[in-house]
Amino acid sequence: MILRRTIAFAIALLLAPCASLAQSTIPSGHLLGNSTAAERTPTDTTLSALFDRAFACTQGQIVNRGASLNSCTAAPILGLSGTLGSLSFGNATSGLVKIQPVTGVLGSSVLSLPAATDTLTGKATTDIFTNKTYDTAGTGNSFKINGQSITSVSGTGTQVAIVGALTNSTVPRWLAGVLSNGAISDDGTNIAVAGAASATAFSSGTNGVIGGSLTLNGSATGSSLVKVAAAAGSSTFQLPVGNGSSGQLLSTNGSGVTSWITASGTGTVTSVVCGSVTITSTGTCDNGVLLDTVTASSSASITGAVTFSGTYNRYQLVFSGILPATNAVGCRLRINSGGIQTTGYLAAIVFSTAAATPVASAPTTFINCSRSDTADVPNTGQGISGQVWIDAPSGTTAPKNIDVKFVYPSSANSITQLSGGGFWNGGNGAVTNWQVDFTSGNIASGTVRVYGWK
């Protein structure tokens, strides 16, 4: 009886904790366990605490399966000999990015990532590099441009790069890839290319894109530009030997070979033709300035849109194809001096044809631009052409001289030519404009151009 009571009491003592636990609850995600270093009764424990105790984990480590056991480490190893390890990252949209070593026998290497936030570049991708230094001085390092290795920045190597100004210490040996027999040498001042240059040596410009040019800078200031025409053709010029003598000229033989020559020949200039003016002693060569163009089109009369002034000493009216609308009429020129003047003219005009004796005329109501003794300008053919000169139109001390010269096909199937001059004798006032009309009908077509001469 005593033994039975003793056993029952022992069982009660053993089941007491279980009864206590059975009557209590634990938080979600927790479990009963022992996360301490010693043996003890299971208590409410977190899974993290049990993992840390079981695998000796600390902050910053993950569980990694070793050769026989799992353990926590900050340097996990994925894969083993014969099995490729890799690490994949899922894209926010779709797809994966996988990091893995190349296949084959590998040593032990370390890939260090940059300290700053950046984007890594790929071997087969197109990337723009900034703030990068390429060290070609290190053993095994090489930098290539278009397949040519650049080993240093100056010197006499097979390929070098230019740094700063083109000097003795920066001879551009990399031009050897552009020039055949392209050895480049210098004496500390001048740089020379030895051997024959290939077809592309020192080529400038691209046909259809941009023209080539060569700029030569002065040692102190300024520069000179040498360029060719847009349609340059194909030319080769060979410069002569030496600098030539003072006063000599550079001449070509027509085949691109140039030489220094001495100008030969002497003479005296006796006159210079400048437009319609011939200068025989002294004077100013001045081309007329086009001021106005008046075009007739079934016009009763035509007059200038530009007013004469003292800006020019002479005014020139050039007639081209003045054709009447009515057959067999006469042409009249009048000037404007306080209005179009219809009386008071003094003129001496001579008409001539190939088949008749010249005829003189002295009109008083206009200046002739065709015959006045007979109306003979036809309304077909080339019309009247010629010119009128009006001298010093802005003067106020004398009448203004008017010189005329005209030619036209007459109604009698012959050419009529007239020349002469005159002036309006009604006063000394300034002449400001002009007017042309026919004795009957309109002006069908033709132009009068007005030029100013100084």
Instruction: Report the range of poorest mean pLDDT among 181-195, 399-413, 429-443.
Output: 181-195
Helix, strand and coil percent figures for the chain, each rounded to 5: 10, 35, 55
Residue 21 predicted with pLDDT over 70: no
Backbone φ and ψ for 49, nearest 5 degrees, come out as -65, -40
The answer to whether position 213 is within a domain reads no
Residue 190 predicted with pLDDT over 60: no
Average model confidence (pLDDT) for the chain? 80
Considering the domain architecture, whether residues 332 and 449 belong to the same structural domain is answered as: yes
* Integer-rounded Cα radius of gyration of the chain: 54
Nearest CA to 334 among 309, 365, 361, 310? 365
Q: What is the reported pLDDT for 202?
A: 60
| Average pLDDT of the segment spanning 5-34 | 63
The answer to whether position 386 is within a domain reads yes
Instruction: Report the range of poorest mean pLDDT among 31-40, 140-149, 378-387, 440-449.
Output: 140-149
Residue 381 predicted with pLDDT over 80: yes
Nearest CA to 137 among 165, 121, 161? 161
Nearest CA to 408 among 370, 372, 443? 370
pTM across the whole model:
0.42
Q: What is the reported pLDDT for 180?
A: 40
Q: What is the reported pLDDT for 435?
A: 98
The answer to whether position 424 is within a domain reads yes
Give the residue with greater pLDDT, 224 vs 385: 385
The answer to whether position 270 is within a domain reads no
Give the pLDDT band of residue 24 (cuts 50, 70, 90).
low
Contact indicator for 347, 421 with CB cutoff of 8 Å: yes
Give the pLDDT band of residue 334 (cuts 50, 70, 90).
very high
Full domain range(s) for residue 42? 31-65
Considering the domain architecture, whether residues 159 and 43 belong to the same structural domain is answered as: no
The answer to whether position 434 is within a domain reads yes
CA distance 122 to 88: 17
Contact indicator for 419, 405 with CB cutoff of 8 Å: yes
Q: What is the reported pLDDT for 319?
A: 97
- For 162-184, the pLDDT digits (tens) are 554 444 444 444 444 444 444 45
Counting the structural domains of the chain, the total is 3
User: In this structure, which long-range contacts are made by residues 186-191, counting pairs with CB atoms below 8 Å and at least 24 apart in sequence?
Assistant: 191/166
Considering the domain architecture, whether residues 299 and 401 belong to the same structural domain is answered as: yes
Residue at a domain's end among 124, 156, 179: 179
The listed range with the strongest mean pLDDT (80-94, 198-212, 393-407) is 393-407
Residue 288 predicted with pLDDT over 90: no
Nearest CA to 321 among 224, 433, 196, 448? 448
CA distance 220 to 243: 22
Share of the chain above pLDDT 70, in %: 79
The answer to whether position 334 is within a domain reads yes
